[in-house]
Chain A
Amino acid sequence: MSLDEIKIGGMGASRRRVEDNRFIRGKGNYVDDIVLPGMLHMEILRSPVAHARIKSIDTSKAWDMPGVRLVLTGEMMAARNLAWMPTLSYDTAAVLATDKVRFQGQEVCAVIADDPYIAKDACAAIVVDYEILPVIVNPIQAAAEDAVQIRDDKEGQVGNKVFDWEIGDKARTDQAFADADVVSKIELHYPRTHPSPIECCGSLADYDRATGKLTVYMTSQAPHIVRAAVALVAELPEQNIRIVSPDIGGGFGNKVPVYPGYVISILASILTEKPVKWIEDKTGNLISTGFGRDVYLKGEMALRKDGKILGIKMNTISDHGAFFADAQPSKFKIGLMHSAFACYDIPTAYMFSTGYYTNKSPGGVAYRCSFRVTEAMFFQERMVQAAADDLGMDQAEFRRMNFVKDDDFPHRTPFGFLTDSGQYGKCLDIGLEAIGYANFEAEKAEAASRGRLLGIGISTMTEPLGAGNSREYDILGIKMFDSAELRIHMTGKAILRTGAKTQGQGHETTWAQIVAHELGIPAEDIVVEEGDTDTAPFGMGTYASRSTPVAGAAVAMVSRKIRAKARKIAAHLLEVSEEDIEWELGRFYVRSNKDRGVTIQECAMAAYSNMPDGMEPGLENNAYYDPPNLTWPFACYIAKVEIDPETGVWDVLQFVAVDDCGVRINPMIVEGQIMGGLTEAYAMANMQYQTYDEEGNCIGANYMDFLLPTAWETPGFELYEVVTPCPHHPIGAKGIGECATVGGPAAFVNAVMDALKHKGVRNIDMPLMPNRVYEALTTGNDVYGMPPVRSGN
């Protein structure tokens, strides 16, 4: 009798999570929970001003405080060649400011003391004399001819431009626009926001002088990248660097970059010869670490009068803050922005992108976005909505007629990606049915009779996950493969390590499910470890929803390697040749006599005690997986909202999500990822943003101003699934972590726009706070850009 795959926790099982056992007991092991003997505490003094020359720093009162062990300035870092460090985008970023500060919140000094209270007291006693310089808070100011140069530290840097980049066929696209019956245009700003996991960033650096070994416990989604960076920058030998990412309290991309705090804590540990712990506070996290978005779009769509899209033009301008510190594949300056429109059959497109430095925190690519794909899909669906309205066409029908058809794969997208599978129309159908699209006009009229405005917003997209193939994808030259190492013990239990790093996605639970699927070993018999560079095989970490597509594939591949060896052992145990062996879940058997067989556990024992002649003992292997292509999950998200026209407040009446992420390893976890992503989408659409006033003060540097929705505001979500297996992935999975954050915001925004269409309003930039909705609906004007922050009447 064969094993029941669901019962052993294989694929498709909504297996309850292994990691929960410690989290629900409060026994998680986050960086701030770790204590080492003699540990010191580090606090960072941050700049209160956005752009200023540093005239002097007086740390004498800090040094004098009892309990203070070390006070570091930029000058001291510079003496050790550590005042600047490379970023993941081939720029440099300051570790501690030397000549100037270039954004509010930038790190200026660090105090290391016996406890964090004393460290904070000492920071407050440091006196810095700043000479204020003109401040630049958006790309328009940055591009001005007479603009002050922010990066006067960079040789060869002219003005404030970071890059120009283009892709697509300009000539062909221009022709398409010349031939078009209608050209639809829209300008959008995807506001700056922040991934803001609840746990802030931090590190505990421990340099052991006796052994020369540096151990750093840190909040990192990619510990191997950190080890590589430390080896290259700090010139410590790589074999003596151990990076450990223990439990991480949420990442969302915020915990990929290497932050000054980590570097300073490492130096501090070397200098004090003690472990040094740095845990930033929420203000430090929001004001200085990797933000997300802040991109402007001028979008144009060339249309035939029957609704066929003939061509796309996109001009994007991105705001990178003071240092170009995007964590994205090095070839693509604006990430995968050019994945826009991948689900539509469009003959030609052209994109021109420019990036600028501003006096704001560095970064731009973080936040559950798969390298700018959030921006791409938001711009796409807002452009689609505008185009359908300009043509007077139904939103769903316009999308449907332009979708890539189910049998048109593989499909080359207008910007050159190759998509391999999709059932876009089916997703849309399920969504429309679930939201009650056919009945909406009646619903709308009923609401209008109560004085309320109703709207429906659709967002459909396919997005690239699982970066990525070594031909095209690298970070700092390191290719973006991933890995898995699997050892089967003699009693048939196992330990699996991968190069990924879970921050809540449940890898300890789901990777075991893949092994259970491939080998028939019950998932509960498999321990999964990630995050320790001394033991984990090399991987580029977990972000951009790449783990299931890449590391998950490696898990499947290594399991198959082991099964292949086990098959040989089985043949030996059953005394038949390998060709006579068949496999069913957990068991090899003789083809001609199914009752004669051996379990995988018996093979494991034999690998230690009864090997075939000439075979190497043991049953373990590793696999490094270079994905042949990206994966292409797709989705249809539909929101139905009701606006109170007297206040501009809008409520979500219903939200439907139809997701196709290929084969689902653990349906429960997949749904959890979708709901989390949709909540972040709702947050951005409704209330969550960061902005800067004209002096460069950051609005949204704490949870009073940076608004996250609570359980009370957050709507409920109805989830549906379509399964189109990924044709090139070993288990047909595509990844899901970011899909809902990528596709979700446009559904909410399109719904509010739909409700306001009759007023002539075409766009309100996010966040759609009540006052902005009210302004649009009472004036009939669009509302662009960020909420004003200057006080006045």
Chain B
Amino acid sequence: MYPSRFAYESPKSLAEAVALLDAGKGEAKILAGGQSLVPMLKLRFAFPEKLVDINNIPGLNYIRFDADGSLHIGALVRHEDLEFSDEIARRQPTIAAAAPLVADPIVRARGTFVGSVCHADPQGDWAATMIALGGHLVVQGPKGKRTIEMKDFVLGPYATALNYNEIAIEAVIPAPKGKAVGGYLKLERRVGDFATASVAIALDMDGDKVLRAGIALAGVGGKTIDANDEAAILVGEKLTEENIAKVAELVAAKAEPRTDHRGSSDYKRQIVRTFVKRILTANSIQKAA
């Protein structure tokens, strides 16, 4: 219910924040939205020596489509900023579909997209979305910036490729090759529940032909499941009942669900299978064709 003691800093610049992480030698933790970290502190599942609050660092709160069509999401963008963005709704349908399903509306007002990706909860919605979209993170450390592809970012439950002295400052979703279509479905027993299973699908279409396909899963394994290889069978094809069913089977087989009180592993595969079919069959996709 109450966290153990820690020190707290509220730097005014990225450089300062990075320096604090560096000095902390792994005992300092970034505080952004806090909607995952503070609950862990309260339950004493996490007990860092120092929190580095980045909320007062200017220049991190932006949702920006560049001229090349790539999407840049700054570290302090809240989930609800994406949920309520008209431009996101028009141009990034997978993100638009996932945003309302993250946690609950009050948590969405504070929690951040980038922070959620870095938290790497196996049930996290945004890590799956990023993998399906083929995105990457821009991170800053003492030696400067580097990028980490999303597919290389999540190493295991709550474990990422970030070094202890690095901060993820931006998520980048590459420009779609054609028209972006996609969707996100999540089976939760009530709003705010952890997912029984979630499916993120992002396709780039040229007319009715698939130029690029990305699929990722949450809640059905020890970490986010990358099913982009399975999705690849759609590339160069039109979407048909047949290949939709085939990719649904392949993706369901790629999942690594565990039997628990949310359901058997077979049931969770069934959800994955069903959700893949439904997203691909959905109107928004057919209309793009």
* Chains A and B touch each other in the complex, with CB atoms below 8 Å apart: yes
Contacts from A to B (Cβ < 8 Å): 116-117, 120-121, 124, 281, 283, 646-649, 686-687, 691, 699, 704-705, 707-710, 712-713, 769-771, 774-775, 787-793
Would you call B261 an interface residue if the criterion is a C-beta within 8 Å of the partner chain's C-beta atoms? yes
Is the CB of B119 closer than 8 A to any CB of chain A? Answer: no
Which residues of B, 1-32, contact A by the 8 Å Cβ criterion? 1-2, 4-5
User: Roughly how many angstroms separate A704 CA and B2 CA in the complex, as a whole number?
Assistant: 17
Q: Scan B86-130; emit 1 where CB is below 8 A from any A CB, else 0.
A: 000000000000000000100000000000000000000000000
For window 229-269 of B, CB contacts with A under 8 Å fall at: 258-265, 267
Interface residues on B, range: 20 to 34
- Interface SS of B by simple majority: loop
The reply to whether A789 and B190 form a contact with Cβ atoms under 8 Å apart is no
Q: Is the CB of A789 within 8 A of B261?
A: yes
B271 to chain A: which residues have CB within 8 Å?
647
Instruction: Give the residue among B194, B196, B271 with the most A Cβ atoms within 10 A.
Output: B271
Smallest distance from the beta carbon of A88 to chain B beta carbons, Å? 28
A789 with B191: CB separation less than 8 A: no
Count: A-B pairs, CB below 8 Å:
74
Q: Is the CB of A788 within 8 A of B260?
A: yes
For the complex formed, measure the closest distance between the CB of B267 and the CB atoms of chain A, giving whole angstroms: 4
Q: Contacts A120-B1, A124-B4, A770-B196 given: A712-B191 contact, CB under 8 Å?
A: yes
Neighbouring B residues of A787 by C-beta, 8 Å: 261-262
**With A and B bound together, what is the CA distance between A283 and B39 in angstroms?**
13
Q: Check A713 against B190 for contact (C-beta < 8 Å).
A: yes
* B193 contact set on A, CB distance < 8 A: 704, 707
Q: How far is B44's CA from A493's CA once the two chains are assembled, in angstroms?
A: 54
B187 within 8 Å of A (CB atoms): yes
- Whether the pair B187, A770 counts as a contact (CB closer than 8 A) is yes
Extra pairs beyond A687-B189, A707-B190 (4, CB < 8 Å): A283-B1, A713-B190, A774-B263, A774-B267
Question: Is A775's CB under 8 angstroms from B4's CB?
Answer: no
Residues of A within 8 A of B192 (CB): 710
Specify which chain B residues have a CB less than 8 angstroms from the CB of A710 in the assembled complex.
Answer: 104, 190-192
Query: In whole Å, how far is B54's beta carbon from the nearest beta carbon of chain A?
Result: 25
CA distance A691 to B196 in the complex (A): 18
From the candidates B2, B190, B267, B274, name the one contacting A771 in the complex (CB within 8 A): B267
How many Å from the CB of A515 to the closest CB on chain B? 42
* Complex: A707 Cα to B262 Cα, angstroms: 12
Say yes or no: A771 contacts B196, CB within 8 Å: yes
B35: Cβ under 8 A from any A Cβ: no
Q: In the complex the two chains form, is A788's CB within 8 Å of B1's CB?
A: no
List 17 A–B pairs whose Cβ atoms lie within 8 Å, in order of A's numbering: A117-B2, A120-B2, A124-B44, A704-B194, A708-B190, A710-B104, A712-B191, A769-B189, A769-B262, A770-B189, A771-B196, A774-B263, A787-B262, A788-B259, A791-B258, A791-B259, A791-B260
CB distance from A655 to the nearest CB of B (A): 17
Nearest CB on B from A764, distance (A): 14
5 pairs of A and B residues whose beta carbons are closest in the complex: A771-B263, A281-B1, A787-B261, A771-B267, A117-B2
Quick check: A793 and B2 within 8 Å, CB to CB?
no
The answer on a CB contact under 8 Å between B44 and A771 is no
The answer to the question of B36 belonging to the interface, with a C-beta cut-off of 8 Å to chain A, is no
The answer, yes or no, to whether B55 is at the interface (CB within 8 Å) is no
The smallest beta-carbon distance between B36 and chain A, in angstroms, is 12
Q: Is the CB of A691 within 8 A of B261?
A: yes
The interface residues of chain A lying within 8 Å CB-to-CB of B5 are 121
Asked if B187 and A649 make an inter-chain contact with CB atoms under 8 angstroms apart, the answer reads: yes
Identity of the chain A residue whose Cβ is nearest the Cβ of B278 in the assembled complex: A646
User: Which has the most chain A C-beta neighbours within 10 Å: B4, B194, B263, B274?
Assistant: B263
Whether the pair B258, A713 counts as a contact (CB closer than 8 A) is: no
What's the Cα separation between A710 and B274 when bound, in Å?
Answer: 25
Q: Cα distance A769–B263 when bound, in Å?
A: 9
B44 proximity list for chain A (CB < 8 A): 124
A124-B4, A647-B187, A770-B187 are known contacts. Are A775 and B267 too (CB-CB below 8 A)? yes
- Chain B residue, CB-CB nearest to A693: B261
Measured CB to CB, the closest approach of chain B to A773, in angstroms, equals: 10
Name which of B4, B190, B193, B265 has the most chain A CB atoms within 10 A of its CB.
B190
